[in-house]
Chains A and B, each alone.
Chain A
Amino acid sequence: MTVGEKQAGSENPPEVLDGPFSTRQLLRIDEALRLADQGTGLVFSVFVGGLDEPIREHAQRLHRQLAEPDKSVLIAVSPNQRQLEIVTGRYARKRIPDTYAKLAALSMVGAFSGGDLAGGIINGLDQLASHAGKG
């Protein structure tokens, strides 16, 4: 099992509420994603769920599923494995060097270890987007 076990039923919105976030948190994440996308021209994506071993490869596989992997940034969070992966595409990597990605990861992990998943994700998105600057 990788992503959702059920197909994304288009008129099945309550399913997302089985996820790790409350409605308010979902709205905030949505807003953060939108702002990050608009501000940078890159495509940000957040995955929260279990990752198979090897974890890094799995995250990269998810990243490759995006429409434009080169200019995409995937943040993969596995709460149960307590693992965070940030994958940047070829072009996105020029905008967000690995050192900055590591910095953002550090602050996200800080929030996660306090049990704040949504806050960490929103902060991380904000940091990555501001490092990437205007596209």
Chain B
Amino acid sequence: MSVTETLLVFVGIPLAAVLVIAGLSYAGSRGGATGGGGGAKRYRPGRPFDFTPVWFLGRPEQLADSAGTALTAGAQAPALTSHKLEKASVEAPAGGTGGASDRW
């Protein structure tokens, strides 16, 4: 075998194989993520999770917002304006509400 042939066989072929495998695994990790139920934006505790806040209501008309911005189930809530915020905090002191808190 000549020098070029040797190089081609012992360097070129392994390099090609490595590139093909790397390419396949890269494509697989991207394609697999979308197949796995939105894996690209999957929430993992402890890692920052970037998303748009959402507010769900069973019946959209239930938001005490006369602005008429109907919240379809799963739609975004309108931004809490400072006026509404003031109103909400003045109207009723937090008394009477219950519930629970927890962390994970």
Enumerate B6-51 residues with CB–CB distance to A below 8 Å: 37-38, 41-46, 48-49, 51
Q: A8-B69, A34-B58, A57-B94 are in contact. Are A83 and B101 (CB under 8 A)?
A: yes
| A29: Cβ under 8 A from any B Cβ | yes
- B43 CB → nearest A CB, Å: 5
B104 A109 Cβ-Cβ under 8 A: yes
B58 A33 Cβ-Cβ under 8 A: yes
Kindly supply a per-residue 1/0 record for chain A positions 61-78, scoring 1 wherever the CB is within 8 Å of any chain B CB and 0 otherwise. 111111111101110000
Q: Which of B55, B79, B84 gathers the greatest number of chain A CB atoms within 10 Å?
A: B55
Contacts of A104 in B (CB 8 A): 100
Q: Once bound together, how far apart are the Cα atoms of A73 and B100, in whole Å?
A: 11
Q: Once bound together, how far apart are the Cα atoms of A62 and B59, in whole Å?
A: 16
Kindly supply a per-residue 1/0 record for chain A positions 10-42, scoring 1 wherever the CB is within 8 Å of any chain B CB and 0 otherwise. 100101101111101110011001101100000
Q: Once bound together, how far apart are the Cα atoms of A55 and B6, in whole Å?
A: 68
- B11 CB → nearest A CB, Å: 43
B42 A115 Cβ-Cβ under 8 A: yes
Interface size on B, residues (CB 8 A): 52
B96 A90 Cβ-Cβ under 8 A: yes
Contacts of A10 in B (CB 8 A): 69-70, 72, 75
Contacts of A60 in B (CB 8 A): 94, 97
Contacts of A112 in B (CB 8 A): 45, 104
CB pairs A–B below 8 angstroms (28 shown): A2-B79, A2-B85, A3-B80, A4-B54, A7-B69, A7-B79, A8-B75, A16-B75, A16-B76, A22-B38, A30-B73, A44-B58, A45-B55, A45-B56, A45-B62, A48-B54, A57-B94, A62-B80, A63-B97, A65-B65, A67-B64, A83-B101, A89-B96, A105-B100, A109-B104, A110-B104, A115-B45, A117-B43
B residues within 8 Å of A by Cβ? 37-38, 41-46, 48-49, 51-59, 61-65, 69-80, 84-85, 88-89, 91-92, 94, 96-104
Report, nearest first, the 6 A-B pairs whose CB atoms are least far apart. A49-B53, A4-B76, A37-B58, A22-B38, A93-B98, A113-B104
